[in-house]
A = this chain, B = another copy of it.
């Protein structure tokens, strides 16, 4: 989930000097216009310490008109608050129509801290998150706009940040012993946070994950996203009396927007950070392949005995080698207990059900394996980009998919998801080769060329898909697939490791 917020994205001084002033002006104008409208805006900042939560609030406070603004931070409940239900103080502090309220951590703070420090159980934690959902739903149903930012720093970046602050005598007071103690628990925080974000990122109040390391980047990212969300909400609220449950179809905007979040450096995505030169020498390949297939063969038999099922989903660019990778897995599996499901356009029958129905049909029985060649992620990839699904539909699909996969994981299924990545150049060459080889021509269709034209839109969709669905329960594996040998080895290794990890749980 946080992979997309550890890309070391930066905005240069010059770029900032150019983009910040007009953004500031637009944001201020939008705020003034908001004072006449019949909904308030709640901006919630959560995130890792040192990722710039308070700095961003302070800066926006400067940018905006403070008369129509409140900012709230919460420590231990006061006497007044401690004697009432936990949400009482948040209700009290809600902004009225036409105002903006900034909330620092607020209702997310205690559930996450309790999870990390007091080991709240899964069910209790989910129950607390549910209460948050009820609270936010009551507000968004009433027309309130809720914009939630999660400011992120990687483990090392946070350490660096603390050290920087400590070295400067003017800021050293800001780093407390508690902060280092929390840093030691970085992974626990990540687990808790991912669970919280997954569960509370709903169509009507999604989280925006912001890379917090670079001040200029995070400022533009937050300000731009906030501006876009307010504008969008304004359009929706003026459209109908009832507040909409999901955003209306995207409209083209002058600033580049990855549909919901403003991204000041759109050229950097999770995919652009991959080292696409990775390769496996031809000389090593066969031996490694054989060894891995043998390992998989053993592991899959153990998994079968232990009634552990496996679901593998392949997504990727056209011609990225999904089929080839799948064919290298097959020899490691018992063919009686495994099946490959190719996913095409839904048939008329499939089309008359919920889009998840056709995937539920193929969920394997205990101990078996199903490999999907393309998958339910079509909803947030091709259906999103081509407009086959409305924005409301693909927005809520993230939560539906996370819920679907969580059910599989709870049922002792290893869920593995591969994005097969090739560069645009590599794809071009593969297409040309296919054109020339008679026995491969059938693989190349008009559609492939059309998809290729939409490369950037797909890349943004992939980035958001990974941000919203690479969860602690079921992570995405991004496969550098310019070199087919490397890709196949990496896929096989990941499948083996996934099974090993699940089998190891049996022993502990």
Residues in chain A within 8 A of chain B (CB atoms): 38, 40, 79-80, 83-88, 91-92, 94, 96-98, 121-124, 126-127, 130-131, 134, 138-139, 141-142, 144, 241-242, 244-246, 307, 309, 349, 352-357, 360-361, 363-367, 390, 392-393, 396, 399-400, 403, 407-408, 410-411, 413
Residues on the B chain within 8 Å of A83, using CB: 307, 309, 365-367
Give every chain B residue within 8 A of A349 (Cβ-Cβ). Answer: 96
- By beta carbon, the residue of chain B nearest A98 is B352
Q: Are A408 and B85 in contact (CB under 8 A)?
A: yes
The reply to whether A360 and B411 form a contact with Cβ atoms under 8 Å apart is no
Q: Are A92 and B361 in contact (CB under 8 A)?
A: yes
A91-B361, A126-B127 given; name 6 further pairs at CB < 8 Å.
A85-B407, A85-B408, A85-B410, A92-B360, A141-B393, A242-B390
Instruction: Tell me the complex Cα distance, A127–B403, Å.
Output: 13
- Chain B residues with CB below 8 A from A130, complex form: 126, 130
A80 touches B127 (CB 8 A): no
Note all chain B residues with C-beta closer than 8 A to A363. 84-85, 88
Q: Could you say which residues of chain B place their CB within 8 Å of the CB of A142? A: 354-355
| Residues of B contacting A396 in the complex (Cβ-Cβ under 8 angstroms) | 141
- The chain B residue sitting closest to A124, CB to CB, is B123
B residues within 8 A CB of A79? 365
27 chain-A/chain-B pairs, Cβ below 8 angstroms: A40-B352, A83-B307, A83-B309, A83-B366, A84-B363, A84-B366, A84-B411, A85-B363, A85-B407, A85-B410, A87-B407, A91-B361, A92-B361, A94-B354, A97-B352, A97-B353, A123-B124, A123-B127, A126-B127, A130-B130, A131-B407, A134-B403, A138-B354, A141-B245, A141-B392, A141-B393, A144-B354
Residues of B close to A122: CB separation below 8 A: 127
Asked if residues A352 and B400 are in contact (CB atoms below 8 Å), the reply is no
Task: Give the docked Cα–Cα distance between A403 and B134 (Å).
Answer: 8
Quick one: copies of this chain in the complex?
2
Q: Tell me the smallest distance from the CB of A201 to a CB of chain B, in Å.
A: 13
CA distance A13 to B228 in the complex (A): 63
Give A121 to B410 CA distance when docked, in angstroms: 18
| Residues of B with C-beta under 8 A to A400 | 134, 138
Q: Which of A40, A83, A244 has the most CB of B within 10 A?
A: A83
A102 to B130, CA, bound (A): 30
Nearest residue (CB) in B for A248 is B242
Closest 8 CB pairs of A and B: A83-B366, A91-B360, A123-B123, A96-B352, A97-B352, A83-B365, A85-B407, A85-B411
For A143, the closest partner residue in chain B by CB is B354
Partner of A138, one of B86, B92, B307, B403: B403
Q: How far is the CA of A345 from the CA of B453 in the complex (A)?
A: 58
Assess whether A354 is in contact with B139, with CB atoms less than 8 Å apart.
yes
Give the chain B neighbours of A80 by CB distance below 8 A: 365
Residues of B within 8 A of A40 (CB): 352
Nearest CB of chain B from residue A474's CB, rounded to whole Å: 13
Chain B residue nearest to A408 (CB atoms) is B85
Give the shortest distance, in Å, between A138 (CB) and chain B (any CB).
5
A84-B365, A123-B121, A124-B123 in contact; A357/B242 too (CB < 8 A)?
A: no
Which residues on B sit within 8 Å (CB–CB) of A411?
84-86
Q: Report the bound CA distance from A459 to B124 in whole Å.
A: 39
Compute how far the CA of A124 lies from the CA of B127 in the bound complex, rounded to whole angstroms.
9
A87 to B403, CA, bound (A): 11
Q: What is the minimal beta-carbon distance from A4 to any residue of chain B, in angstroms?
A: 25
CA distance A127 to B393 in the complex (A): 25
Complex CA–CA separation, A245 to B400 (angstroms) = 17
Question: Closest approach, in angstroms, between the C-beta of A76 and any C-beta of chain B?
Answer: 16
Q: Cβ of A357: which chain B residues have Cβ within 8 Å of it?
A: 91, 94
A353/B94 contact (C-beta < 8 A), A241-B390, A400-B138, A403-B134 known: yes
> Closest B-chain residue to A123, C-beta based?
B123
Q: Which residue of B lies closest to A144 (CB)?
A: B354
Q: Which residues of the partner chain B approach A139 to less than 8 Å between Cβ atoms?
A: 354
Nearest-neighbor residue (CB-CB) of A410 within chain B? B85
Chain B residues whose CB sits within 8 angstroms of the CB of A123 once the complex forms: 121, 123-124, 126-127
A307 and B84 CA atoms in complex are apart in Å by 11
Chain B residues, Cβ within 8 Å of A355: 142
Expressed in whole angstroms, the minimum distance between the Cβ of A383 and any Cβ of chain B is 13
